Amino acid sequence: MAKIEFRNVVKRFGAVEVIPDMNLVIEDGEFVALLGPSGCGKSTSLFMLAGIYLPSGGELLFDGHVVNEVEARDRNVGIVFQSYALYPHMSVRDNILFPLRFKKTPRDEALAKVKAAADLVRVAELLDRRPGELSGGQQQRVALARALVKEPQLLLLDEPLSNLDASLRLSMRTEIKSLHQQLGVTTVLVTHDQVEATTMADRIICMRAGRIEQVGRRTTSTSGLRACSSPASSARRPSTSLPVKPRAARSRSTAPGFRSRARRGR
Ligand SMILES: Nc1ncnc2c1ncn2[C@@H]1O[C@H](COP(=O)(O)OP(=O)(O)OP(=O)(O)O)[C@@H](O)[C@H]1O
Ligand SMILES: [Mg+2]
């Protein structure tokens, strides 16, 4: 698990400054949502955490260590993309196995971890299929299993539910939330859906034009998230910060193969 910190982080693409000066601490085991309109920099922030984008300035820290120059594969971060990004020519088993190749995990151990991750998200019966033979919801679960198989210290979810129909989205919200409670992994969810943010995350970071405009928490009503509620009305509003104490990780039983972070005395 990791405590995450953005310290004066800047991101520019050429001359365009997308993130001017981001400061945010995400506590070990916390579930945070980055909420905001299209183009406000949510995915850019997430991709910097993943090591896909390099910050143009400032520091990104995992557990107090600067990771700006650390390769994506060395960060032990699991990511689920909006499009799922599964490899179409590979079986579900090989898709989930893929991140372990970089870790040079022995084959038997890797297959046991795949089975544990597949059990956790209930796709164990689909391991021999290819992604094209799965429904959207099943593909989303496989993408989650692939992100979880290496027991990441940080789980990043970029609009993972947006391709699902309304009822599946509802049930997956609950499932992802209970997975987080079970594993205790520090999680960052990107969404533009206020209800999704407030029902899943402990803390909601409202972003606009690359800046954090408001910090709310799960108990904040959606109408209380003023900075996220109306693009026109909130653009010039000063930032508001609600005092937030991250929830303690819960102790619960964990699927075989997954050590409960809650029980490791964080
Ligand atoms: N690789 C890139 N090169 C140039 N500009 C980029 C790149 N990636 C993102 N941007 C720009 O950075 C800004 C923020 O993009 P980002 O993808 O982070 O937004 P977002 O909040 O995730 O939006 P959405 O909800 O639509 O996914 C946008 O103006 C976008 O065009
Ligand atoms: Mg995005």
Query: Token pair for residue 122?
Result: 């209930």
Nearest to 56 by CA among 4, 21, 23: 21
Lowest mean pLDDT among 17-26, 76-85, 227-236: 227-236
Confidence of residue 97 (pLDDT cuts 50, 70, 90): very high
Would you state the pLDDT for residue 188? 98
Beta bridge partners of 65: 62
User: Domain extents for the chain?
Assistant: 4-76+181-264
CATH 3.40.50.300 fits 4-76+181-264, yes or no: yes
Centre of ligand 2 to C-alpha 45, Å, is 9
Instruction: Please name the residues in contact with 243: beta carbons below 8 A apart, sequence gap of 6 or more.
Output: none
Residue burial 70-81, b: 16+ Cβ < 10 Å; e: rest = eeeeebbbbbbb
Instruction: Please name the residues in contact with 5: beta carbons below 8 A apart, sequence gap of 6 or more.
Output: 24, 25, 26, 59, 60, 61, 64
Instruction: Please name the residues in contact with 85: beta carbons below 8 A apart, sequence gap of 6 or more.
Output: 143
Beta bridge partners of 240: 214
pLDDT above 70: percentage of residues in the chain: 82
| Ligand 1 atom having least distance to the Cα of 40 | 21
The yes-or-no verdict on residue 217 having pLDDT over 90 is: no
The yes-or-no verdict on residue 201 having pLDDT over 50 is: yes
The finding on whether 266 has its CB within 6 A of some atom of ligand 1 is no
Would you state the pLDDT for residue 215? 92
Residue nearest to atom 18 of ligand 1 (CA): 41
Sign of CA dihedral 187, 190, 196, 197: positive
Pocket test for ligand 1, best of 18, 40, 208 (most atoms within 8 A of CB): 18
